[in-house]
């Protein structure tokens, strides 16, 4: 249940519509949290019912109306509560069907496993390339607290780069071991 808190986090930077949120989530938070637009709209509804956010309908000419959401005082409190809450141990392991396949690779040939690992390396490279243009987007997002916020953005994107690099080295090690 963290998408809700992600939404609160973005709204703490300023007013946004569900559409804006969907657009923002993907490029900035993609690595550590993916979000479908349908889910965002559902969460916004729930948050509104809990009075953690509120919205005003903004009429536009030549475009559909939009609901501009803003965070309430209660929402800010909840967001800060979540931020300071400890989530002990919940972020050490994760779900990866890829690693599960590696684990069960006795059941396939070494060639097939090597192929699988190579494909994984390609995926990593592609992902890394796609990551490049993100800083610009964050720049647009918060002009005021830009420099401060981008420090933490750097932290998470540093994590992503380190992770991808670690994966690559690991996969290469595996291939080398199999290749003998």
Footprint of a second copy on this chain (CB under 8 A)?
2, 5-6, 9, 12, 28-34, 79-80, 82-84, 86-108, 112-113, 116, 119-120, 123-124, 126-127, 145, 148-149, 151-153, 155-156, 158-159, 162-164, 166, 169-170, 173-174, 177
Q: b/e map of 20-49 (b: 16 or more CB within 10 Å)?
A: bbbebbbbbbebeeebeeeebeebbeebbe
- Complex with DNA: residue 102 or 178, whichever CB lies closer: 102
Task: Specify the residue, 33 or 155, whose C-beta has the smaller distance to DNA.
Answer: 33
In the complex, what is the shortest distance from the CB of residue 89 to DNA, in angstroms, rounded to a whole number? 11
Q: Helix, strand, coil % (nearest 5) of the chain?
A: 65, 10, 25
The only residue of 29, 35, 47, 117 in contact with DNA, by rule CB under 7 A = 35
Position 3 contacts DNA (CB under 7 A): yes
Closest CA to 73 of 53, 57, 56, 44: 53
C-alpha 70/C-alpha 29 separation (Å) is 19
**What is the closest distance, in whole angstroms, from the C-beta atom of residue 111 to DNA in the complex?**
29
């Amino acid at each position: 249940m963290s998408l809700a808190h992600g939404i609160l986090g973005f709204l703490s930077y300023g007013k946004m519509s569900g559409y804006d949120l969907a657009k923002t989530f993907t490029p900035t938070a993609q690595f550590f949290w993916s979000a479908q637009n349908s889910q965002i709209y559902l969460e916004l509804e729930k948050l509104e019912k809990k009075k953690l956010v509120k919205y005003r309908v903004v009429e536009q000419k030549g475009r559909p109306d939009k609901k501009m959401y803003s965070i309430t005082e209660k929402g800010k409190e909840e967001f800060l509560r979540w931020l300071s809450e400890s989530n002990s141990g919940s972020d050490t392991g994760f779900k990866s069907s890829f690693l599960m396949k590696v684990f069960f690779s006795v059941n396939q040939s070494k060639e097939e496993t090597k192929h699988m690992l190579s494909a994984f390396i390609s995926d990593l490279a592609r992902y890394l390339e796609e990551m490049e243009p993100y800083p610009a987007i964050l720049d647009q997002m918060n002009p005021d607290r830009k420099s401060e916020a981008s420090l933490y953005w750097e932290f998470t994107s540093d994590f992503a780069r380190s992770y991808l690099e670690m994966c690559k080295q690991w996969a290469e090690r595996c291939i080398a071991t199999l290749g003998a």
